[in-house]
Amino acid sequence: MADTALPAPGRQRVLDAAAERLVQQGYAATTLRQLAADAGIKAGSVYHHFASKEELFIAVFNRGIEVMVEAFDSVEVADPLERLGAHVRAHLGALFEHGSYTAAHVTAFFTAPPEVRAEVVPQRDEYEHRWNDLLADVFPDLPAGRRPLTRLLLFGSMNTTIEWFHLSGSLTLDDLAAIITSQFIDGIHASHLIRSAR
Amino acid sequence: MADTALPAPGRQRVLDAAAERLVQQGYAATTLRQLAADAGIKAGSVYHHFASKEELFIAVFNRGIEVMVEAFDSVEVADPLERLGAHVRAHLGALFEHGSYTAAHVTAFFTAPPEVRAEVVPQRDEYEHRWNDLLADVFPDLPAGRRPLTRLLLFGSMNTTIEWFHLSGSLTLDDLAAIITSQFIDGIHASHLIRSAR
DNA sequence: GTCTATAGGGAGATAGAC
DNA sequence: GTCTATCTCCCTATAGAC
């Protein structure tokens, strides 16, 4: 494992800048000149690290999935329902607590050109597969054919939190994860009892 | 009410094209030249209808909300829980069955420049307010302070369907609305029984 | 209401010096 | 690994003819 201490290399600074710009501006509006300026280099120097704008953003999107996968795989909880809650918390953690890569992926992936998306699909599939397996494990009664749809609805709630949730607010990420998990498992009637029940 | 029959005026064709391009490409990647070509006119002529690119897209985003509001207000159901389901169905209808304006709003709003977003916020608030009132009506036990969060989680599930749902698939919009409604009210255990229960 | 022509700026990408 | 300089292309927007 490389010693990535103190002064981040140019390539890394460009990637970090790209992730943040993606979240705020989307794919097309983010220019290599901006990224270079953010990273403290000139536009032409970006091409020493990446062959094209597309290759650069493929790296960002893939890193965004890596962060999600690492968060997912770090969960070790025995009880099925508790494990589900831990994975929801881990997914939200990837979105808000481990840099901008996952947030960039979730917000900008669908606005990226088809060639870029195609290079990222395999890694996306891998993450989705993990969740399908988790659902199969936690909800044995859920038909296999319904797992993708169920996952998509849960992802929809989790991923759109980046449009409105802020770590600086009064609602903590633990609270949010607990509410989403409860809402997902038992519906609205149960989810709003969470805070008072503790 | 204007007689908008057969040949759509230039302005209308430009707006239609903008809504579709927004869904597929996002804000920054959509150029006035494309819209003009789609509408069968030249780029310079766009400025006869709109003062700027921003003004054009403000019109698209606002129309997207109008479609949602019209769908919402068309619901007339007495039973509270059934009414909620009807509103979910109406929201999905606005996304998939009444042109591309609502889909454009939902996908591209957050990638639009701040000046554009600011002009659309009041109409967005109006729609969100309708939903908060609906939640208050259907779920009297839900604390008022929890309505926005509850609404946001439901919107997350509904709005991200545009990333994967297609009218041409085997799952109908009625089915999808029923599943989302059931999942929202009673959680996962109830939602996957819907199809077999009919 | 649409056209042509064009101004002025900024985009992605390349070449070669240091 | 970064720089400067530059090519080519396309963008938004404007002016004025029809």
* A7 within some domain: no
Find how far residue B151's CA is from the centre of its chain: 15
At A190, is the pLDDT very low, low, confident or very high (cuts 50, 70, 90)?
A: confident
Domain coverage including residue A113? 54-197
Cβ-defined contact of A156 to B156 (cutoff 8 Å): yes
Helices A147-159, A173-186: inter-axial angle, 10-degree rounding: 150
Contact A180 B153 (CB under 8 A): yes
CB-nearest to B157 from A27, A153, A171 is A153
Scanning A58-97 for CB atoms below 8 A from B yields none
- Where do the DSSP E strands lie in A11-148? none
CB of A36 under 7 A from strand D?
yes
Note whether residue A11 is domain-resident: no
Q: Give how far Cα B129 sits from Cα of A40, B134, B171, Å.
A: 45, 9, 30
Residue B163, in any domain of the structure: yes
Q: Which residues touch strand C (CB under 7 A)?
A: A 30-34, 43-44, 47, 51-54; B 9-11, 36, 40-45, 48-49
Domain harbouring A130, CATH code: 1.10.357.10
**pTM for the predicted model, two decimal places:** 0.96
Between B111, B141, B156, which is nearest A26 by CB? B111
A163 touches chain B (CB under 8 A): yes
The share of chain A scoring above pLDDT 90, in percent, equals 90
Q: Residue A43 — very low, low, confident or very high, per pLDDT cuts 50/70/90?
A: very high
Report if residue A36 sits inside a domain: no
Residue A80 has pLDDT above 60, yes or no: yes
Considering chain B, what is the average pLDDT of its residues?
95
| Residue B198 pLDDT | 46
Residue A177 maps to a domain: yes
Q: Is the CB of B89 under 7 A from strand D?
A: no
User: Residue B197 pLDDT > 80, yes or no?
Assistant: no
Interface test with A, best of B110, B121, B153, B163 (most A CBs within 10 A): B153
A121–chain B Cβ distance below 8 A for any pair: no
User: What is the per-residue pLDDT for B194?
Assistant: 77
The residue of chain B nearest to residue A29, with distances taken between CA atoms, is B28
Interface touch B26/A25, C-beta < 8 Å:
no
Residue B35 is assigned to a structural domain of this protein = yes
Q: Is residue A1 part of a domain?
A: no
At residue B29, the pLDDT reads 96
- Give the pLDDT confidence score for residue A198 in this predicted structure: 46
What DSSP assignment string belongs to chain A? -----SS--HHHHHHHHHHHHHHHH-TTT--HHHHHHHHTS-GGGHHHH-SSHHHHHHHHHHHHHHHHHHHHHT---SSHHHHHHHHHHHHHHHHHTS-SHHHHHHHHGGGS-HHHHHHHHHHHHHHHHHHHHHHHHH-TTS-GGGHHHHHHHHHHHHHGGGGT--TTSSS-HHHHHHHHHHHHHH-HHHHTTHHHH-
**Total domains, chain B:** 1
Question: Does residue A17 lie in a domain region?
Answer: no
A155 touches chain B (CB under 8 A): yes
Q: Å between A33 CA and D3 C1'?
A: 14
Question: Residue range B88-100: average pLDDT?
Answer: 98
Among A40-44, A156-160, A189-193, the minimum mean pLDDT is found in A189-193
- Name the one residue in this structure whose structure tokens are 């329902």: A81
Can you tell me which residue has the tokens 């509904």? B158
Structure confidence at residue B192 (pLDDT):
85
Token digits of residue B195: 């199809």
Residue type, B126: E
Q: Is the pLDDT of residue B196 over 80?
A: no
